[in-house]
Amino acid sequence: MSEFGQFCPVALASETLSQKWMLLIVRELCAGAARFSDVRRGVPRISATLLKQRLDTLELAGVIERRSLESGRQVYALTEAGEDLRPVVASVGAWGQRWAREIRTEDLDPRWLVWAMHRRLDIAAMPLGRTVIELVFRDAPARQRRFWLVSHNGDVDVCIKPPGFDANVTVRVGLRAMAEIWRGLRPIAGEIKAGRLQLEGEPALCRAFPRWLKLSAFAPIKRKR
The string of pLDDT tens digits covering residues 2-18 is 788 899 999 999 999 99
Count of structural domains, the chain: 2
pLDDT higher than threshold 70 for residue 1: no
- Residue 131 in any domain: the answer is yes
CATH number, domain at 184? 3.30.1050.10
Which of 99, 134, 151 is the C-terminal boundary of a domain? Answer: 99
User: Does residue 118 share a domain with residue 93?
Assistant: no
Average pLDDT, the chain: 96
Per the domain annotation, does 22 fall within a domain? yes
Tell me the average pLDDT across 37-60. 97
**Confidence (pLDDT) at 4:** 86
Same domain, 146 and 76: no
- Structural domain that includes position 153: 105-212
In a domain, 42, yes or no: yes
CATH of the domain at 32: 1.10.10.10
The residue-averaged pLDDT of 134-159 equals 96
In a domain, 220, yes or no: no
Q: Average pLDDT in the 131-143 region?
A: 96
Q: What is the pLDDT of residue 82?
A: 98
Report the alpha-carbon distance of residue 26 to residue 46 in Å, rounded.
14
Q: What percent of the chain has pLDDT over 70?
A: 100
Domain boundary among 99, 131, 149: 99
Q: How confident is the model at residue 40 (pLDDT cuts 50, 70, 90)?
A: very high
Please tell me the predicted confidence (pLDDT) of residue 130. 96
Per residue in 194-210, pLDDT (tens digit) is 999 999 999 999 999 99
Do residues 196 and 173 make contact, with C-beta atoms less than 8 angstroms apart?
Answer: yes
Give the pLDDT band of residue 146 (cuts 50, 70, 90). very high
SS3 per residue for 136-149: EECCCCHHHCEEEE
Residue 22 contacts residue 51 (beta carbons within 8 Å): no
Where a domain ends, among 99, 116, 137?
A: 99
Residue 145 lies in a domain: yes
